[in-house]
Amino acid sequence: MRILLIGYGKMGHTIEHIATQRGHEIVGIIDVTNTHTLNQYNGTNVDAAIEFTHPESAFKNVYYCLNNKIPVVCGSTGWLEHLGEAKAICETKNGAFFYASNYSIGVNLFFHFNEYLASKMQAYPDFKVSVKEVHHTQKVDKPSGTAITTVDGILTQYRDKQGWILAPEEATNKITISSERIGNVVGTHVVRYQSENDTIELMHDAHSRTGFAEGAVMAAEWLQNKKGVFGMKDMLNL
């Protein structure tokens, strides 16, 4: 498979390593030094693009790929206000778009169990639910896209909650997310249910970026010959 890497930070380097290990060809790498060369690529010379950049550039990159018949796997977070527009463009152009806030297989199982736990805990209002995420100091957006996806899963079961609020602020009708940026932490997410008597926690702690990179390359492989908008639930049949 011919892969175009858009974004060449730590994740981009890890994806390159995993993709070549799995027998794929990296036909191009786009980073901040050569963004003007993106227009050299289209559906005739690229089988899939894997996009991991910054919030301010993600939508522009996804838009370009969808308009130029390049199936695109996007892992950038912090740009979700444009996600609906990206999905609409994909449908209009009969393209292929795969989005996930986190490509780790373990994290997506965490999402699955998170919704199940929320479905049980919502019957016990004495337990206050909150979410905590910790990442490395180079991560720009707060809270993480994974934390927002986690909250979205809880909200499917908590009908009295209306979105989230970033700590230290609190609101009775919102779920509080606390965000910390510490050293080189890859990514830790914790869902906490706390009452006066006890605490229940569900946690995912990433040990390296390899799991994220493997998931992104697997998504690009899975996306081949498909049309539409997809996510990890589709790929993992969750």
Residues acting as catalytic residues? 135, 139
Rounded alpha-carbon distances, angstroms, from residue 216 to 14, 19, 75, 90, 163: 10, 9, 8, 19, 27
Question: CA–CA separation, 6 vs 52, rounded Å?
Answer: 6
Length of the chain: 238
**CB distance 132 to 190 below 8 Å:** yes
Looking at the DSSP bridge assignments, the partners of residue 112 are none
Helix ranges restricted to H, the chain: 10-21, 55-67, 83-93, 105-121, 145-155, 210-223, 232-236
**CB distance 178 to 131 below 8 Å:** yes
**CB distance 206 to 196 below 8 Å:** no
